[in-house]
Amino acid sequence: MLRTESREGGVLLMQLPTAVEALSALAHSSRLAVFRLLVRAGAEGIAAGDIAREVGARPNTLSTHLTILGNAGLIQSRRNGRSVIYSADYDGMRDLLGFLVADCCAGRPEICGSLGELASDGACCP
């Protein structure tokens, strides 16, 4: 699970091994597709069978992908009757994104100023 383990200037920072695990989990086309699907689905999430149909994965293969994403702290699951519902772990995603841009700009915000605007201009969250 992704954990923010240090504090710098009041901001929690993810440790390098945790970031590597998360990036490694996303470095597979099927897992990235699953993660992006779950991010789009929102907090409501999607049942495992629906994820398999949507991304075209066999159930046993999908199970492996979901385990890897869960261990990396990028998704979470909950039981709803006989179904397991998966959703993106938005805290884990924020931690990873924060890690990736923490050193951005080296004090020169004009270098990566548009990164902060992605979420607010609808490119991320219409």
Dig out the tokens for 16 from the structure. Answer: 């390098």
Strand ranges for 16-124 from DSSP E: 46-47, 75-80, 83-88
Q: 39-78, pLDDT tens digit by residue?
A: 999 999 999 999 999 999 999 999 999 999 999 999 999 9
Q: 78-95, pLDDT tens digit by residue?
A: 999 999 999 999 999 988
Q: Give the sheet arrangement for strand 83-88, strand by strand.
A: 46-47, 83-88, 75-80
Q: 84-124, pLDDT tens digit by residue?
A: 999 999 999 988 988 887 777 666 666 766 665 655 555 45
Is pTM, for the whole model, over 0.85?
no
**Residue 10's pLDDT is what?**
42
- Determine the distance from the C-alpha atom of residue 30 to the mean position of all C-alpha atoms in its chain, rounded to a whole number: 14
**Alpha-carbon distances, residue 89 vs 59, 109, 112 (angstroms):** 21, 28, 25
| Domain residue spans of the chain | 4-120
CATH architecture, domain defined by 4-120:
Orthogonal Bundle (1.10)
Helix 29-41, helix 59-71: angle, nearest 10: 70
Q: 1-50, pLDDT tens digit by residue?
A: 444 445 454 445 678 899 999 999 999 999 999 999 999 999 999 999 99
